[in-house]
Chains A and B, each alone.
Chain A
């Protein structure tokens, strides 16, 4: 007779977790006021949005978005460059492989985690209050945004580097800092460049909506038209943005392929 191995008993994660997740889902849907009946009735009014949305005013969009769109791209370029530059040393301090001091490692790691919990638009709101409405606030917000992502990605990459070269450098009499510079840094530089391009793409996408809270870029034009429900003006702007975003992403993918 064939001995069929018994299926292992489900763990607590499954026996308790799945019912809990289902209950929480039902509870969430009730709390957000989900009601199929209302939804169907509301959907009957969709013409308010869809009619203007599918009758785009191209002429208007061409004449009014170019400047703001350029501003959006500039915000993303500046913020991703500065953010990633600041993140480079921070990532080395936030990695166990290169920071030997347990306490300072923990401090830098927590700082990066804290920055990461605050959403990009919250940063934008705070900076518009602090330094005034305009693209400068947007740049600062996206610096925090890219700094947090780069810090996390790069510090985790540094954690997993090959310790051999660092040991070799130390064996030849290099100090810890020298071994980091000569052996750890070159190992992660290709990843750093790839992450930078990825973050630049994220920044381009994020900078589109910064204007909704007054932090500059093409979002400020969307915001003024949104308030007046001019979806006939918004839809061409969105299409133009999408085309620009896709073009920039293609360019970034092309560079990434050249480097790696």
Chain B
């Protein structure tokens, strides 16, 4: 029996990639001075840290400090997502090839790419001297980054629509504006709304981190407790963050699912 073989070019590609991966990881590990000794010792050290967090600090005072910070992260993420959604929505039409003229679409896309390139954290510390320490700076950073990402995703949704309804509106005498409001928007709205919610989930994690540079949220609390070596309280901060993110993720995922798949009809 003759078993067909993979073509030679594919085998060469496969083996050269494997070699590349092995060389790459060895080169990186050597450059970062990561020795086997350190790797073997890491689990013990992590164990010590986790051990130091328990029992968690469940005192009233700890919760009074932590809970407002956790919610601040939630507010930053939500407000940031709303800013991103409001501004990216009209922009995404300008960036879509099938709605805007070629040159407008191309320039808008490049602007969105440029915005997207800056991580929230870098935006945050650039805004910090202007808008001051606090959650507003974080919101601005999250919001602006979201405009870039949501604008790109939404414009791709608009580019993928079915042209049929647009033609029907045109042939029955509808204007360009009619085409947008009756042809494009009803088609793209479910997907775009679900992207907004998806972005909210990502922003929640981003806003939790922003406290590191003083832009509000729970990150500030975690870094402070770790610096003061108050591990039980750091553990509480961590658990509270996990609970918030899990809850928000679950609710948001359920709504997204409902928007995309529609109502379950019992027949």
Contact = CB atoms under 8 A, between A and B. Distances in A.
A25 B136 contact: no
Interface residues of B, number: 64
B222 A238 contact: no
B129 A24 contact: no
B219 to A, nearest CB: 7
A66 interface: no
B48 interface: yes
A172 interface: no
B13 interface: yes
Given A39-B131, A42-B132, A119-B205, A129 B226 contact: yes
A71 interface: yes
Nearest to A11: B263
Interface string B10-52: 0001000100010011011101111000100110011011000
A205 B121 CA distance: 11
Contact of B209 (A13, A39, A122): A122
Interface in B168-208: 205-206, 208
Contacts of B13: 258-259
Contacts of B222: 122, 125
A70 interface: yes
Interface stretch (A89-97, A99-107, A130-138, A173-181): A130-138
A24 B31 CA distance: 49
A49 B126 contact: yes
B99 interface: no
A29 B208 CA distance: 17
Interface string A41-73: 011011011000100000000000000001101
A129 B118 contact: no
B260 interface: no
Contacts of A246: 117
A248 interface: no
Interface residues of A, number: 65
Contacts of A119: 205-206, 208-209, 219
A54 B35 CA distance: 42
Contacts of A222: 122
B31 to A, nearest CB: 5
Looking at B32, B135, B213, which has the most chain A CB atoms within 10 Å of its CB?
B32
Given A139-B34, A213-B212, A129 B130 contact: no
A208 B82 CA distance: 27
Looking at A11, A39, A125, which has the most chain B CB atoms within 10 Å of its CB?
A125
A131 B44 CA distance: 9
Contacts of A27: 75
B167 to A, nearest CB: 21
A113 B246 contact: yes
A114 B25 CA distance: 27
Contacts of A34: 79, 136, 139
Contact of B219 (A29, A117, A122): A122
B232 interface: no
A205 B130 contact: no
Looking at A119, A135, A205, which has the most chain B CB atoms within 10 Å of its CB?
A119
A79 to B, nearest CB: 9
Contacts of A29: 79, 82
15 contacts: A25-B78, A28-B74, A29-B82, A32-B138, A34-B136, A43-B130, A71-B31, A77-B28, A78-B25, A120-B209, A125-B223, A135-B33, A136-B33, A229-B129, A259-B13
Given A28-B78, A135-B33, 16 more contacts: A32-B76, A39-B136, A48-B130, A49-B127, A49-B129, A75-B32, A78-B32, A82-B25, A122-B209, A125-B222, A126-B226, A130-B45, A212-B121, A238-B122, A255-B17, A258-B13
Interface of B: 13, 17, 21, 24-25, 27-29, 31-34, 38, 41-42, 45-46, 48-49, 71-72, 74-76, 78-79, 82, 117-119, 121-122, 125-127, 129-132, 134-136, 138-139, 205-206, 208-209, 212-213, 216, 219, 222-223, 226, 238, 241-242, 245-246, 249, 255, 258, 263
Q: What are the 7 A-B residue pairs with the smallest beta carbon separation, nearest first?
A: A74-B28, A78-B28, A32-B135, A28-B75, A119-B205, A130-B49, A121-B209
